[in-house]
Structure 1
Amino acid sequence: MNSERWSTHVVEIRGDDVTKRYRKGDARALLDREWRALTLLDAHAPGLAPAPIAVDREAVPPAVVMSRVPGVPLRGSPVDAVRMAAMAETLDALYAAVPYDRLARVPMRPDHQAGLIARLRTWHGRGPGPAAGAAVRAALREGMAWLDRSGLAAGPYVPGAPVFGPGDGNLANYLWDEHACRVRVVDFEDSGRSDRAFELAEITEHVSGWSDGGLDAVAFLDCFDLTVEERSRLRECRRLLALTWLFILSFEDPAHRRNPPGTAEGQAGRLRELLG
């Protein structure tokens, strides 16, 4: 299951069962999204994710019990061609798993385009953290200038071909099973209706993809048969998610880092490269 090193929740493993306890302030919403995802995927794509066993909304903290799935997180080591192909195959299946009529009743995932832009505006008003250096501050200014002229804030994006999105690009949530030569997905607390370009940008721009591992974004994205519209949108979504990560990294407390020193500066360079 998900490595505790990157976890924001409590995970208990007992034999073939895993109990996940939600300790954030919006724990009930996290639990509801996770349980909905597990039940939907179990019904329409069994074996892709843990199977739902039980849910306890009244517990403190609330908890979901699910099956234990084999595999080790892709985070922390290079994602080679075999693992990359298996991950892409899993994502293709996951995105298409939920039938359209059922997916239409699933709420949009948290921090999709409109919500994320609103969050960025709030962060911009607050300004970067005091430890952010000149390169980070300059890239943030360039990123916000791009956002102002991008047109993304004109209105919420309504995907023409919606997909079910896990909502978290952390490579720790993608488990490689070398015996089955398969990747399975865990952690659906931010899942919901989305679009494929946004979800792929969520993965390629997550800090786990480049800071301590090695996901070749170009090779990974070439695994997908994207439409011309999706490729155009993907470019803008990658910029949006890269800007988001630069803000997140700028807020890190240097005394209690979750990422190695220099990660924010690396992210600044990554954003500038995407902005062209």
Structure 2
Amino acid sequence: MELPDSVKDVYDEIKDRLTSPFFGSFFIAWLIINWYIPISLIFYDQKELHNDNFRSFREVINSQLDLCRNVIWPLLCAFGYVLISPAIKAAINIYQTQVAVFSDNKITEILKKKSGIAAELKIKDELINLKSEQNSLAQSQIKELNSKLDSQDQEIPRLQSEVDRLQIDVNKLVDQNDINNKINELTTFVGVWIVNFSNSEGPIEETWDISLDGSVHVNNRRNYMIHRIIGHDNNVWLNLGAQGHFNTGYKSHFVFFLTRSNSNTVVWQGVDLLGETVMFQKNVYVLKPVGDNQ
């Protein structure tokens, strides 16, 4: 069943009045100031009323009737609450706002510190990982270098052995070259020579047979060795007029030759250190010595 609009309006008005801050504050102030009346009405019975010399609840109420307590003081409290409560609420709101701002600042500061600490810890972890990677790379490079050094240490003896072998081969080649040079120089002298010279006994003719090893057989009875040759056989064949000598152990051991040649005969003529004239002559075919019979 729906209430008429007029009754509903009255109900709403009463509801607004009862829920208004002024009425609520007046009611609460009245209950606090006149507390004896509601306590007696709620908790006292007839026996307790008689013990307090009251015959009924009306007498209790009448005994508490007072304009100041029943009206003035509750009204003043209601007005004071209505007037002061906004300021109190504003102060409470300001306090709550300040507390909230302070809390937010603290929380923000803590979060910043936490984020800073987290970032610092992250950087430290990255540095630790980087150092670990660098150490691993350094260890790997050290191992690689040690391996190369070991292989080089093993290679050095082999290379030294190879160098020694090559040096031996070079020495052999040098020795062989010296031998070849000596043989080439002796080639000019190898063969049978007719040697004519004079001494205190008069003219003398000897046959000198010079071998490739440098030995000289004189008349098949005396032996000498050619120790040194100065001059080149090319000068002899090309008739450049070079002067040379060789040491045969003959007399003063030195014989000097002024050379001349034709197509078939080589003639060396010179003077020894004793002043004797010496003539060497050998038949040749082209440029090769062929002995006495050629």
TM-score by length of 2: 0.16
TM-score by length of 1: 0.17
Structure with more helix by fraction:
2
Higher relative contact order (CA 8 A, sep 6+): 1
Structure with more strand by fraction:
2
